[in-house]
């Protein structure tokens, strides 16, 4: 997922980690240089749907304008963590 809006500097990544853990989703989250947030998520279909819907709201201080969701096939990840650094 690529999440656009006011999603950096508002606790979005930490919120995404908490939400993913609560839903049983594995993967990672990181900031993107252009101000968006990127999330790679893996899990059961219903858990992933719930994660996408939760990400449309985000934490209290966020404003989500858009979410681009792209399926990339089955990926097996352990845990859900924050990737450091801002990617292109």
Known active-site residue 63: no
CATH of the domain at 56: 3.30.70.100
- Tell whether 88 is covered by a domain: no
Whole-angstrom distance, CA of residue 49 vs CA of residue 35: 24
Please choose, from the candidates 48, 44, 36, the residue with its C-alpha nearest in 3D space to the C-alpha of residue 88: 36
- Tell whether 26 is covered by a domain: yes
Whole-angstrom distance, CA of residue 65 vs CA of residue 84: 23
Q: How much is the pLDDT for 78?
A: 82
Task: Report how many domains make up the chain.
Answer: 1
> Packing angle between helix 45-57 and helix 12-23, nearest 10 degrees?
150
Give the pLDDT band (50/70/90) at residue 85.
low
Catalytic residue chosen out of the listed positions 14, 21, 30, 31:
31
Known active-site residue 81: no
Give the pLDDT band (50/70/90) at residue 86.
low
Read off the pTM: 0.88
Whole-angstrom distance, CA of residue 88 vs CA of residue 39: 14
Residues 44-65: what's their mean pLDDT? 96
């Amino acid at each position: 997922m690529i999440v656009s809006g006011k999603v950096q500097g508002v606790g979005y990544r930490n919120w995404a980690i908490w939400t993913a853990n609560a839903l049983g989703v594995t993967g990672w989250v990181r900031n993107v240089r252009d101000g968006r947030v990127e999330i790679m998520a893996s899990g059961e279909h219903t858990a992933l749907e719930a994660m996408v819907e939760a990400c449309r709201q985000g934490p209290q201080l966020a404003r989500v304008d858009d979410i681009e969701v792209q399926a990339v096939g089955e990926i097996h990840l352990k845990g859900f963590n924050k990737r450091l650094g801002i990617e292109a």
